[in-house]
Amino acid sequence: MSPLGKLLVIGFGPGDMEHITKRALDALAESEVIIGYNTYMDLIRPLLNGQEIVRTGMTEEVSRAQEAVRQAEMGKKVAVISSGDAGVYGMAGLVYEVLMQKGWRREDGVEVEVVPGISAIQSCASLLGAPVMHDACTISLSDHLTPWETIVKRVEAAASADFVIALYNPRSGRRTRQIVETQSILLRYRDPQTPVGLVKSAYRERQQVIVTTLEDMLNHDIGMLTTVIIGNSSTMVYDGLIVTPRGYQRKYTLDASEQALKPHQRLRTEAEPWSLGAQGDRALNASQAGAAPAAPGPSASGAAAAVATQARPQAVAAVQAAPSAAQAGSAPASLAAEALSRLAAGGRLPGEANARWSGQAPAASADGAAAVAGAGAVAGTATGGFGKPALFEVGVSPGVGNKKFTARQMALLAEITGDEGELEYTPDHQIVLRVPCADPEELVGRLRDERLIVMPIGDVFKVKACDFCNMEKDDAVPVAEHLQVVLGGLQAPKETSIALNGCGMACYGAVLEDIGIVYRKGGYDLFLGGKKFGRNAHAAQPVAEGIPREQITDIVENIIAEYKEKGHPNERFHKFFKRVGVVAGFRHEDAPATVEVNAVCGD
């Protein structure tokens, strides 16, 4: 028997001579035969010096691996080449699989050396800035060897866990739908403005680098040689570069030479309240203080009933308050019905179909949602993983116009939050309450008993209003309250603000919101399709002036009904208005062209 040869499985990096490792160069030089896909052979041609070459087509990986094993078993030193890293969708695994089939063993079989290379996720990231930087994963969209269902599950898991994602094999001549489907899954979890990098032929002759956004990425060229890098919820763009922060800003002031935390303080748990160590300390404090953790268990059916009876007067009020809504056509009537069921159910909670993309609400809160949605009839209990109470997330405010919390309301919020939960004050004049909770309906009942407005978080309609100059200019308050009862918290294609200003000063900025209403001289002016954030922010389009009180709520309800019915998932109201052209009889007009400015952060 001839002495055994050697298999060198070599990743030669992105494709230029500068980014190939020394070991890869030496391994190529010492091999007698080089086996590889045609394009790769062309890329490494300058490195060849008389080796026997076996070129194959792209789909012939199996015969390439078999041939390599056969020649190595005949005693030759055989190089099998992959671009990037041979262990990342490359030839390394297949070579081992062919060997395993033959009963190969390390101690007496052919020697195998896998030579690592720079993979596309790294080479492409380097051209984009520093988009990877934090927890990331690679997903190949090629379903030639992997069931599409599996790929979908992985995209969903990575999207919901807020990984930076590098998509390999995003698209080919035949596989064109995969990237479209993937984008729509990602949009269910991430902001449409999430930065996305498209790098084609990194470090090769036709290199192309594009910085775009999740919603816009399909408007660019994506092909076989493109890697798509999707940012996470904190990724930003600065001067055309994509950067994902590692988290230094949590502890350091990046533009100061002197840091508030001295080196010896930086690793203490007080300096890292987000750490596992700090969580352990909090749990210990809570149990020492005698605060029993909310125990999962059957919630009293009495509590559920209390919520149902507590909710009913409001629900009835919602329908009564909209007498003309029923006459105005089927859409507002069904909105009122939806409001009725929502209130009877104790309010819908986070995590439904349009789960929020920020990753703040873990899957556990969906349990909370389910439990509360069924509260009218069933006494549900919510449990997260491993028997822990689910994290329950809900928005709380003292009123639509009223901005004043009472001391009792604050005390209740503090009591409910305890050591385990958190309260976050948001720009929407709302406090977001996040607490582990085994009995959401009881909790909602307690909040409402204290006259707090309790609202779901996520892709819902939010009704906001100024404080009506400390309730002195209060003519429009009933309209705001009516809209809150009928529309507040309804599921929306995308989070939508309906904002009301109580006088012509419009100091609350209602005209910048998705739907703005300004009360003036006894009538209501209506503004549609504002975009408050982003480089191309614009005010809403004024569509009507002086609408009488009796008509304004019906008109807004009609607009909402149309948007709910015809809006695409994740389509913001201003985009919807532009796309459909006419909403509830109001015609869209293009805003004047915006001036391009360099964003400091965000998009």
Give the nearer residue to ligand SAH in terms of CB position, either 5 or 84.
Answer: 84
94 vs 498 by CB, closer to ligand SAH: 94
Residue nearer to ligand SAH on the CB measure, 178 or 227:
227
The verdict on 83 binding ligand SAH (CB under 6 A) reads yes
The CA distance from 304 to 547, in Å, is 41
What does the block give as tokens for 522? Answer: 């006894």
Least distance to ligand SAH from the beta carbon of 24, Å?
Answer: 13
Return the closest-CA partner of residue 363 out of 113, 481, 189: 189
Which residues ranging from 151 to 180 are in contact with ligand SAH (CB under 6 A)? 168-169
Q: Please choose, out of 50-58, 82-90, 268-276, 595-603, the segment that lies near ligand SAH by the rule CB under 6 A.
A: 82-90
Instruction: Candidates 120, 187, 369, 454: give the one binding ligand SAH (CB under 6 A).
Output: 120
Q: Is 40 in the site for ligand SAH (CB under 6 A)?
A: no
- DSSP secondary structure string, 307-362? HHHHHHHHHHHHHHT-HHHHHT-HHHHHHHHHHHHHHHTT---S-SSS--TTS-S-
Closest residue (Cβ) to ligand SAH? 84
CB of 234 to ligand SAH, least distance (A): 24
Among 35, 110, 199, 242, indicate the residue that binds ligand SAH (CB under 6 A): 199
Assess 227 for contact with ligand SAH (CB under 6 A). yes
Helices 477-487 and 330-344 cross at an angle (nearest 10°) of: 80
Size of the site for ligand SAH (CB under 6 A): 24
Task: Figure out which of the listed residues 7, 9, 15, 372 binds ligand SAH, where binding follows CB under 6 A.
Answer: 15
Q: Which of 406, 436, 405, 430 is nearest to 418 (CA)?
A: 436
CB of 228 vs ligand SAH, minimal distance in Å: 8
Q: Which of 8, 98, 133, 202 contacts ligand SAH by CB under 6 A?
A: 202
89 binds ligand SAH (CB under 6 A): yes
Distance CA 295, CA 286 (A): 14
Residue showing tokens 């999430």: 194
- From 118-126, 344-352, 359-367, 388-396, give the range in contact with ligand SAH by CB under 6 A: 118-126
Write down the residue that tokens 């030639």 correspond to. Answer: 144
Query: Do 342 and 314 form a contact (C-beta atoms < 8 A)?
Result: no
For the chain, the first-to-last Cα distance in angstroms comes to 65
DSSP-derived secondary structure letter, 460: B
Is 82 near ligand SAH (CB under 6 A)?
A: yes
The residue from 225, 237, 412, 454 that contacts ligand SAH (CB under 6 A) is 225
Instruction: Check: CB of residue 282 under 8 Å from CB of residue 269.
Output: no
Q: Is 209 in the site for ligand SAH (CB under 6 A)?
A: no
Q: How is residue 248 written in tokens?
A: 């230094």
| Integer Cα distance of 303 and 27 in angstroms | 72
Q: Which of residues 406-435 bind ligand SAH (CB under 6 A)?
A: none
Using CB under 6 A, pick the residue from 160, 178, 182, 201 that binds ligand SAH: 201
DSSP character string of 18-66: GGS-HHHHHHHHH-SEEEEEHHHHHHHGGG-SS-EEEEE-TT-HHHHHH
Q: Does the protein bind ligand SAH through residue 14 (CB under 6 A)?
A: yes
User: In the bound complex, what is the minimum distance in angstroms from residue 190's beta carbon to ligand SAH?
Assistant: 20
Structure tokens at 500: 């009301």
85 binds ligand SAH (CB under 6 A): yes
- Span of 87-95, 309-317, 400-408, 582-590 interacting with ligand SAH by CB under 6 A: 87-95
Per CB under 6 A, which region of 94-102, 202-210, 252-260, 413-421 contacts ligand SAH?
202-210
Residue 465's nearest CA partner among 510, 517, 500 is 500
Q: CA nearest 368: which of 397, 393, 341?
A: 393
Residue 22 to residue 10: CA distance in whole angstroms: 11
Among candidate residues 351, 359, 339, the one with its CA nearest the CA of residue 440: 351
Binding mask 273-312 for ligand SAH (x = CB under 6 A): ----------------------------------------
Our CA angle for 302, 305, 307, nearest 5°, is 115
Shortest distance, CB of residue 172 to ligand SAH, whole angstroms? 8
Q: Of 116-124, 234-242, 281-289, 412-420, which segment contacts ligand SAH by CB under 6 A? A: 116-124
Neighbours of 462 (CB within 10 A): 26
List phi, psi (to 5°) of 292.
Answer: -70, 130
Distance of closest approach, residue 48 Cβ to ligand SAH, in angstroms: 20
Question: Could you say whether residue 318 binds ligand SAH (CB under 6 A)?
Answer: no
Rounded to a whole number of angstroms, the minimum distance from the CB of residue 80 to ligand SAH is 12
Q: State which residue, 20 or 120, has the beta carbon closest to ligand SAH.
A: 120
Our finding on whether 10 is near ligand SAH (CB under 6 A) is: no
Contact positions vs ligand SAH (CB under 6 A): 14-15, 82-85, 88-90, 119-120, 124, 168-169, 199-204, 224-227
